Structure 1
């Protein structure tokens, strides 16, 4: 498969967590994603299948959290939140979804309503890799999904989407999960400038990493800080929670909700009877277009 740059290779970890979650009993499972394991490399599938044994799942969670406390729970909960919010948007009548930086995520394949259209934008190497994995898994990319290679730092996202049939005059739900930290501020603002053109009633779901973590670590995640911020310099953009509303307003969006570790515990983990730590390094935002 196509060799992928460093930032693109980070797609495997979250999907491995999603795939392992499928071995939790239905009443405790946070997300339902039967496609996840099939998109993983063969070398990782055996490790995931071993998670059918609870002791192995517990060991993998502990190993993950040793490197970055609460990261396993944070990935599961943010995916659940995005699934819930995207589903709510579809139930409200929105039939277009644009996934910005889709990686190997399966949301567009799983949740897009009948008659809807999904557009997945990612680095060209990621797109080609995913196209090959979907073809191997299912024989073809689903008809309602368009896989589009872009560079968020330089490409005209509106022009690229228009070439693939995106209808700018209709509301859309944008999902921008675990991407902004990999961009420069200029790249984030360029994407927001594109999003400012969305039709009224559109919805935006995006995550961001806390600025104070990028500025000096902390939050009990020294290893994560050293790897992603200091050594590999992959994480470059962050926000403080109080900055979000003003940033969005300048591009025509209204912040409706921010969620993080505390909300995830109350909404998802406690009702499922799960005792799972959740990192507070990242927050999810739901906004609507004026």
Structure 2
């Protein structure tokens, strides 16, 4: 059996969280994802099914928080934010979605409207697993979604991505919404800049959504997340790239993008979880290690 690269092994956890969330009552649910459980391995699906009982859901989320405070809530909030922003882009007339490092995420299948087109790019092992999982679900791989194999550490990545998308019908002269969720921390500095060089070619009117991990956490830990630092930075050494919030605007500017907003734990709590937020006081701890950025191409 081919050994999965370290970065490819991280696709499962967020989708388990998304699948468990579907057992929350509709008025308390942060995301709607009826496909998530169907893409999980058999053992993970069994664990998710046990979460139909509220006590089991609470135990699972609590166990996650004891090991990595706020990661469970942070995954849910970031996925909700990305869903909202992609739906907003489609509503504004953008008809192309490009997901860089899609993993098992189902956003392209769920949100791409009739007449739209979505392109998911990921490591070959992830694409193969995603394709197999979707084929087993009713409807199979949606006709409007293209699954494309690519290695984000490839030299000349900008050209590789441009060519791969063109082969599958992407129209480079038309705006698109690009989603780069929970990927940058796994890449080298060179790979991040190569991806941004590709994104610099996006048509005017395009939108970019991407997450990053705080650089100070990678350098020295803290933020109440010693276990995460030990596993991902010290032991496995798979989290390599980070930023400080005030570095984002200049970085994007080098590649022709304008930062529109950044959100993190405070904004998520205000929009979704606070008494005045959408879920009217749902109690979830949200980590401040990761931030989501929205940018526009003028």
Which deviates more from structure 2 when the two are superposed, residues 179-188 or residues 156-165? 156-165
Structure 1 equivalent of residue 132 of structure 2: 132
Structure 2 equivalent of residue 147 of structure 1: 147
Q: Distance in 1 between matches of 2:92 and 2:175?
A: 11
Q: Distance in 1 between matches of 2:52 and 2:65?
A: 19
What pairs up with 1:169-248 in 2 under 5 angstroms? 169-248=173-252
Cα deviation 1:237-265 (Å, max 9, x = unaligned): 00000000000001000000000000000
Structure 2 equivalent of residue 285 of structure 1: 293
Cα deviation 1:39-63 (Å, max 9, x = unaligned): 0001011111111111111100111
- Work out the number of aligned pairs and report it: 290
Equivalent position SS for 2:288: coil
Structure 2 equivalent of residue 160 of structure 1: 164
Structure 2 equivalent of residue 36 of structure 1: 36
Q: Distance in 2 between matches of 1:139 and 1:115?
A: 17
Question: What's the TM-score once normalised by structure 1's chain length?
Answer: 0.98
Structure 1 equivalent of residue 264 of structure 2: 260
* Partners of 1:182 and 1:235 within 8 A in 2: yes
Equivalent position SS for 1:137: coil
5+ residue gaps, structure 2, are: none
Q: CA deviation at 1:67?
A: 1.2
Cα deviation 1:177-231 (Å, max 9, x = unaligned): 0000000010000000000000000000000000000001100100100000011
Q: Distance in 2 between matches of 1:50 and 1:215?
A: 38
Q: Distance in 2 between matches of 1:3 and 1:57?
A: 31
Question: What's the TM-score once normalised by structure 2's chain length?
Answer: 0.96
Matched, 1:26 2:23: no
Q: CA deviation at 1:4?
A: 2.3
Q: Distance in 2 between matches of 1:124 and 1:57?
A: 33
* Partners of 1:135 and 1:141 within 8 A in 2: yes
Matched, 1:250 2:250: no
* Partners of 1:2 and 1:129 within 8 A in 2: no
Structure 1 ranges of 4+ moved more than 2 A: 1-4
